[in-house]
Structure 1
Amino acid sequence: MIGFIGSVFSPWYRWSGRRDPENHCCINVATYGPGSRFTMTDRGRSALRRSADTLNVGPSKLHWTGRQLIIDINEWGAPPMVTPVRGQIILTPQAVTQTEVLLTPDAAHIWRPFAPTCHIAVNLTQGHQWQGHGYFDANFGSRALEDDFDFWTWGRFPMQGGALCIYDATRRDGSTLDLAVEIDATGAVRETTAPPCTRFARSLWQVKRETRADAGTTPRQRLNMLDAPFYSRSLVETRINGEQTTGVHEALDLIRFRQPLLKPMLAVRVPRRANWSFPD
């Protein structure tokens, strides 16, 4: 689940010239397996309300209690499964970090790993009720991702005593980002050295994929979670510094995303709803 102000993958936001991020906000929910749904409605400024502890986007809401992030979902699935996606997600962090990471030297893109280790409780329609291991982070940017990056991969892998988060990217100026950070149970963040990037099987849309792996290990997909012409999200198993782990992995091909013909395809999955009125 992702909350956007300035919906970076919305064709409507791109076509608008990205001048007004508050006029393109959304709550993206993706569920997997039987009854899976995908929601990414691009909503206008009238649908946005926010305060220090609450974000409302149309009928959905995120609220921080000081101890938990409570997410109330009330969305509609994207075509072809246009049905309600409703319910609640409760995220309870083990610890909250105070760290931010510059993804470009000029701070145009910033990553905040707020809580890499959480407990999550999910209760949504279409039979998605479960509890388990969760994660909470955020990205902030003052320029379009595709203006500054050609390709990136991200991974968050549970490790003994905490989590390992990995960012690898190729910027458009030819420079690279090579980042691995460990976050322990207290929320302490430490940059570390991880083994080199290792290629593994491409996604269904042939997006290239790579992540860190010890010598002699080839990462492998354990679950396909989301597949698009420019994006892959999956559960990936690898071995890092001698420890076998399975975590969430993303690969983002921004060269493909820059192609104009892709935007009309996305518009089918990302409907625009410009007007919204909150109940009095």
Structure 2
Amino acid sequence: MFSPYYTWDRKQDPFDHCAVNVVLYGERANRFAMTERRRSQLSRDAQHIAIGPSSLAWDGTELTIRIDERSSPIPRAIRGTVRVRPNGITQNPFTLDTHGEHRWWPMAPSSRIDVALDEPAMSWTGTGYFDTNDGDRPLAESFSRWSWCRADLKDGAAILYDVERRDGSGQNLSLNFGRDGSRRDIRPPLAADVPATRLWRIPRPTRSDDGAAQVVRTFEDTPFYARSLLSSTLAGEAVRPVHESLVLDRFMNPVVRLMLPFRMPRAPG
């Protein structure tokens, strides 16, 4: 959805602009891969999708993600397997705009994950999250910005999703899901003041039970998007949410789009 090549393509065939995005944040291995590939490098059916050398397969209980990518702008390999086992599946997607043209489904808010990478050599197990987004028109035509965060709870996950629409209206979702995917009531959190990112000054609005949140680490600080690790309180628990903030007015800037190919190359073929 952030592809500059798709924007510049008159045909705008989504199947001719697909990618597997892989990001690692660690003490010794930070890597980002998002190589766009053409329709000829795409294969898919109801249970499987392959984009270039990487693939995702669902067997009814487990999602197996096989990764074979190269990072950018520094070309380093990212190879290995990620297995996602949802503890439960939620019932339905949410509509984010007033016309029902953009949908978001936090399908598996609480999952078990196993990561085994050959390059760089590392492995771990833990909890994870799986969602889907789909829409009928470009994001920037419907929204000016949004923020999202997800946090592990003792028995599930809390998710906040706030959108600011082009028509001036907004939507605030405060969700609490049990480990089995069941939706539970949550006390509406209070607005929390978090500093903007240091380099590009991307705002990071969020909410918490007591109206307080702190930045633990900034993972991404780009001209239009930020990803951070926060410390806050949700559903009565001290949590470490992963937070994302997107400013679509910045994304629409032609200069920003010209910068994207440095991190999002397009493979030949």
TM, length-normalised to structure 1 = 0.91
- Report deviation, 1:192: 4.1
The structure 2 residue matched to 1:255, chosen from 227, 249, 253, is 249
- Report deviation, 1:272: 1.0
Q: Does 1:21 align with 2:14?
A: yes
Unaligned runs of 5+ in 1: 1-7, 276-280
* Aligned-partner Cα distance in 2 for 1:47–1:26: 10
- Report deviation, 1:85: 1.0
Alignment of 1:90-169 (within 5 A): 90-124=83-117, 125-169=119-163
Q: Deviations over 1:228-259 (max 9, x none)?
A: 11111121111134321112110001111111
Secondary structure of the structure 2 residue equivalent to 1:209 = coil
The residue number in structure 1 matching 2:236 is: 242
Q: In 2, are the aligned partners of 1:156 and 1:249 still within 8 Å (CA)?
A: yes
Q: In 1, are the aligned partners of 2:226 and 2:246 still within 8 Å (CA)?
A: yes
- Report deviation, 1:197: 2.3
Secondary structure of the structure 2 residue equivalent to 1:262 = helix
Instruction: Identify if the C-alpha distance between structure 1 residues 18 and 219 changes in structure 2 by more than 3 Å, giving closer, same or farther.
Output: farther
The number of residue pairs the alignment matches comes to 266
Deviates more, 1:184-193 or 1:40-49: 184-193
Instruction: Identify if the C-alpha distance between structure 1 residues 238 and 56 changes in structure 2 by more than 3 Å, giving closer, same or farther.
Output: same
TM, length-normalised to structure 2 = 0.94
Unaligned runs of 5+ in 2: none
* Aligned-partner Cα distance in 1 for 2:29–2:162: 33
Match of 2:92, as an amino acid?
T
* Aligned-partner Cα distance in 2 for 1:208–1:101: 24
- Report deviation, 1:226: 2.2
Q: Deviations over 1:128-157 (max 9, x none)?
A: 321111111111111111111111000111
- Report deviation, 1:36: 1.2
Q: In 1, are the aligned partners of 2:152 and 2:240 still within 8 Å (CA)?
A: yes
Match of 2:90, as an amino acid?
T
Match of 1:19, as an amino acid?
Q
Q: Does 1:60 align with 2:48?
A: no
- Report deviation, 1:193: 4.2
Q: CA RMSD in A?
A: 1.5
Over the matched positions of the two proteins, sequence identity in percent amounts to 38
The structure 1 residue matched to 2:183, chosen from 189, 200, 207, is 189
Secondary structure of the structure 2 residue equivalent to 1:273 = coil
Instruction: Identify if the C-alpha distance between structure 1 residues 127 and 234 changes in structure 2 by more than 3 Å, giving closer, same or farther.
Output: farther
* Aligned-partner Cα distance in 2 for 1:139–1:155: 15
The residue number in structure 2 matching 1:214 is: 209
The structure 1 residue matched to 2:265, chosen from 258, 268, 271, is 271
Q: In 1, are the aligned partners of 2:174 and 2:189 still within 8 Å (CA)?
A: no
Match of 2:155, as an amino acid?
G
